[in-house]
Structure formats: structure tokens, C-alpha cells
Amino acid sequence: MTAPRAAPPALTIRLAQPIVEDDEKRAVIEALESGQLAQGPRVAAFEEAFAAYIGVQHAVAVNSGTAALHLALLAEGIGPGDEVIVPALSFAATANVVLQAGARPVFVDVRDDDFGIDPASVEAAITPRTKAVMPVHLYGQACDIVAVRDICGARNVTLIEDAAQAVGAAVDGAKCGSFATAAFSFYATKNLQTGEGGMITTGHDAVADAARMLRSQGERTRYVTEELGYNYRMTEVAAALGNAQLPKIDARNEQRRANAAQLTQLLSGIDAIETPRELPGRRHVYHQYTIRVRAGREARDRLQATLRNAGIESAVFYPTPIHRQPLYQRLGYGDTRLPVAERLCGEVLSLPVHPALSDDDLRCIAAAVADAMRA
């Protein structure tokens, strides 16, 4: 008789731990009791506060980060026949929304110091059909957005920031989301969490107006349909959470930064891994604390399994570059070769760094990594 399979060990240290404090719970209850659950005054207040936080004129709330990316493209006039340059190392939504807008994603490589889009690759990929470049501020650190902005300006190409993982990240004091029209995510694991939700930020009146219309069935006036739109509205419950969390985001980000610094110090003697770097002039908010395992995929996967057996959750963001995903292979990207992104997908591993971790948790994580790499 086959022996029963042992149950996996219980996770004692989670990769993400949403923090919902008493005032946030009260805000949600007040929204539920208000009688207005769909987009209303709490959404408007969240938009105003978020625009002020980022330092832009407009913020348009929607129901997910993917919706924010999609509407940012549409509001900037991206459509059929256009090409949009995107990095190959990101969540697939970065490219999927380009397809949803009717345009064609063009994949370029990333840099291995900040995991962000490579400006030289961007410049080389621009063609007469290029309408936009959409860099990603991955893991909570800004990409080289100033260089990309300068390239876009010189080549008359629209810049759209995918800042889904970068609420509060900055370059020389200017926050991600303030360099161009941008999209943020407030998914349950993000630094600012509303369960689901997203935001478009922009300094352009026309872009904000188009995004507001398109998020609500293409209507500026109720029951007057001007364009093919979507039901991308944010709920009052999500906005209630956002309004309660936004004043805390900087303190929570600072705790992430402190946790990251402690992890880096504890892991500093392990030659087999490379810890993340905060590049000069940038403020990393550590949506993820992502190490690189120098020996490659098999060693990385063994480390992840060892951590899991020790009750420590980790994750690979992302195991496959977007151009290698089955969808994009079917769409004809099979010959695309982007060596840095492809190599990084076999090396990266994200460790817990969220604000709920204790010093003991951080020491436990580092000790488990050290033990695994010595084995």
C-alpha cells in the first residue's frame, strides 16, 4: 500500500501580508453604510489626493492596474497600426493591453542593474510605426526613465509609464508617474492595497478627459454614448481603503526600505547571490526584494524549494519573459531573442520584505538562504 503523501509545511513567513488597520476597516464600513457603493465622492477624493501625492494635475481611478494601462494607451491615441515598445521582463499585462488597444507590442531587452527597460534597446527599436514606449518600474525601483523620456522627446514618441509596482518610487525627488501619463495598480499585494484597483495619472487635460469617459461606457453624460467604452469604474469601497492608506504609504515604504537594507546586510557574505541595488538618485520602494542566483535556474529553483520547506514563501517574478509566452509565440515572436531578460528569468527570486515582518523574520529568511546556498 502506498504511504500517504506528507502535507507541505505550513508557511510561517508569507511573501506578502496585506495590512488593514482599524481606521481602514471603519472607512470600508462607512462606505458600505453610505448607500453609494459605485463610483462617488470617495473615489473623487482619492483621485484628488493621489494626484497631489504624485505631483500631477489629474488622477483617474479605475478598477485594476490592467484597466489603467489599457485606458492610458487609448487616451493617448494608441490604436491599430501602431507599435508600442515594451520590456520583455514584466507581468504579461504590460504587453496584453497593447494588443487590447489594437496595436502591436515590440519587445526590447532590460538592464541587469535595475531590471528596467534598456534605453539603448529602445532607441534601436523605434520605427516610423512606433507610437509609444511603455517602460516598467519593476519591483519598486524606477527604470532609467529620464533617458527614455529624452529619447521619446527627440523621436516624437509618446511615453507611458507602467508604475504598477512603484507607488512612491522616485528619481531625484520626482515620483514615478509624474514623468508622463502613467498607470498604477492597487492589487492586494501592492504597497498601497485596495484589493483591486488602479489609477491613471497625467498632466494632460485631454488624456484625463478621455480616460474618464472611456472608464464609464464611453459616456460623459449618462446614457449618451460618445465612444466605445468600458466598465472600468472604481468602487467606493476600494476608494475608502485607498483614502485611508494613502497617508500611510510613505511610512510603510520606509519600513520596506529598512527591511530591505537589513536583508542586504544579512545576505552580504553569500557570493552565490546578488542582492538588489538602489541606484544613485533613485528611491526604491521594494514592492519586491528580488535577489539573483548566479548559478541559474536550477540553483534558484532549489533555493526556492528549500525556503518553502522551511516555511518561507518566495516567488519568481517572472519565470518566462513575455515574448516567450505561448500567446506571443503563436503571434509570431518565436525568433525574438533578448538575452538579458531571458537570463534574468532564470535567476530572479523575490523574498519577503513587507512591513509586517519582524527582525526575527528577517534573520530567519537570511539564515535559510545562507544554509541553502551552502548545501
Alpha-carbon distance of 243 to 235, in angstroms, equals 12
Separation between Cα atoms, residue 122 and residue 133, nearest integer Å: 8
pLDDT by residue for the chain (375 residues), tens digit each?
A: 455 555 556 779 999 999 999 999 999 999 999 999 999 999 999 999 999 999 999 999 999 999 999 999 999 999 999 999 999 999 999 999 999 999 999 999 999 999 999 999 999 999 999 999 999 999 999 999 999 999 999 999 999 999 999 999 999 999 999 999 999 999 999 999 999 999 999 999 999 999 999 999 999 999 999 999 999 999 999 999 999 999 999 999 999 999 999 999 999 999 999 999 999 999 999 999 999 999 999 999 999 999 999 999 999 999 999 999 999 999 999 999 999 999 999 999 999 999 999 999 999 999 999 999 987
CA gap 270, 257 in Å, rounded: 20
| H/E run at residue 43 | helix 41-54
Name the pairing type of β-strands 174-175 and 198-202: unpaired
Q: What is the pLDDT of residue 375?
A: 75
* DSSP code per residue over 319-357: SS-GGGSHHHHHTT-TT---HHHHHHTTTEEEE---TT-
Predicted pLDDT at 129: 98
| CA distance linking residue 111 with residue 8, whole number of Å | 36
pLDDT at residue 79, rounded to an integer: 98
DSSP string, 257-297: HHHHHHHHHHTTT-TTEE-----TTEE---SSEEEEETT-H
DSSP 312: B
Q: Which residue has the cell 493617448?
A: 76
Q: What 8-state DSSP symbol labels residue 35?
A: S
Q: What is the per-residue pLDDT for 1? A: 46
pLDDT (tens digit per residue) in 30-70: 999 999 999 999 999 999 999 999 999 999 999 999 999 99
Q: What is the pLDDT of residue 73?
A: 98
pLDDT of residue 281: 98
Count of beta carbons in the 10 Å neighbourhood of residue 279: 16
User: Among candidates 305, 318, 319, which has minimal Cα distance to 368?
Assistant: 305
Burial class (CB within 10 angstroms; exposed 0-12, middle 13-18, buried 19+) of 35 = exposed
Contacts of 222 by beta carbon, 8 Å cutoff, 6+ apart: none
Is the Cβ–Cβ distance between 61 and 232 less than 8 Å?
no
Residue 158: which of 90, 98, 210, 85 has the closest Cα? 85
> By the 8 A CB rule, do 133 and 149 touch?
no
Q: Can you give the pTM of this predicted structure?
A: 0.96
CA distance 312 to 307: 5
- End-to-end CA, the chain: 33
